[in-house]
Amino acid sequence: MAPVLEVNELTKTYKNGRGIMDISFEIEKGDIFGLLGPNGSGKTTTMKIITGLSYADKGSVQILGSSLEESSKALKEIGCLIEAPAIYDYLTARENLKIAANYYAEIKTPRIDDMLTQTGLIKYANEKVKNFSLGMKQRLGLALALVSKPKLVILDEPTNGLDIEGTVDIREIIMKQAKLGITFLVSSHISHEIELMCNKVGIIKEGKLLNVTSMKNALDECETLEKYFLKHVGRKKEEV
C-alpha cells in the first residue's frame, strides 16, 4: 500500500533567500507526523505546498499515490487548518460547517452534527462564532478540516495561543481521529506538544529537514524530545 503522503525534495526559495531545501518524508495511514521547528524554519511553506496553496521550485508531492502536480483529485483527500481558521464570525458554528459541506455532495447534516459533537461544539452549534473563545474557534477550524472525511489532515500550529485546557482538547481530538484511521501532519514549535501527540517526528530548521524518526526512537535516544531536537540541530551544551 502506498504511503498516504510522499514528499520528495521540495525546494522553494523566496526573494529574501529564505525558504525550504530538499524536504523529503513519508507518512503512513494512521500516523500523526509532527513537524517540529522554530518559527520561520519552513513548516508553513512546506504545508502550503502540500495543500496546493503555494508552488515549489522543485520537487513533488504524492497523496495516496496520486501526484499533486498532475491531478487536483489528490487535493480532495486533504483537510487542512493553516494559520487562522477560515471561518465567518457573523455565522453560527453549524452554518460555517454547512457552507464547507456544500462543496461535497455526499456530506449531509448528520456528518455536520457529528463533527460538532466530536469537537465539543454541539451545544454551541447555533451560536454566532464572533462570541467564541480562541479555543472554540480552533476546535471549529478542526471540525471544518474534518467534515469532508479526508484521508489526510494538515494542521499548522493547531494549539498556538491556546491555554492548557484548549491545548489538551485539540490534542485529544487529533489522537482520537487518528485511531479512526485519519492521518495527520501537524506542525509546532513546541517540542512537548509534538512529544505527547505524535508517533513520528521530523526536525526542521532554516529550511532543512535534519532528521525524521519515530517518537519511540527519539525518546530512546534522549530523555525528552526537546533534548533530541537540540542534539540534532547541533546546539552546543554551553549555548543552552
Residue pLDDT, tens place only, 118-172: 899 999 999 999 999 988 999 999 999 998 889 999 999 998 888 898 899 999 9
- Residue 22 reports pLDDT greater than 80: yes
- 237 has pLDDT over 80: no
Residue 76: the pLDDT is 80
Write the pLDDT tens digit of every residue in 43-100.
999 999 999 889 999 999 999 888 877 656 777 889 988 877 789 999 999 999 998 8
Residue 238 has pLDDT above 50, yes or no: no
Per CATH, the number for 5-83+151-239 is 3.40.50.300
Integer Cα distance of 203 and 165 in angstroms:
26
pLDDT at 204: 96
Given a cut of 50, whether residue 240 has pLDDT beyond it is no
Mean pLDDT of the region 227-237: 82
Q: Is pLDDT of 236 > 70?
A: no
> If you search the block for the grid coordinates 456530506, which residue do you land on?
107
When the pLDDT of each residue in the chain is averaged and rounded to a whole number, the result is 90
- Give percent of the chain above pLDDT 70: 95
From 86, 65, 163, 73, select the one nearest 129 (Cα to Cα).
86
Confidence of residue 109 (pLDDT cuts 50, 70, 90): confident
CA neighbor of 10 nearest in space, from 38, 50, 65? 50
Residues 6+ apart with CB under 8 A from 36: 187, 188, 189, 191, 194, 201, 202, 203, 204, 225, 229
Average pLDDT over residues 192-210: 96
The candidate with the shortest Cα–Cα distance to 43, out of 24, 72, 20, 18, is 20
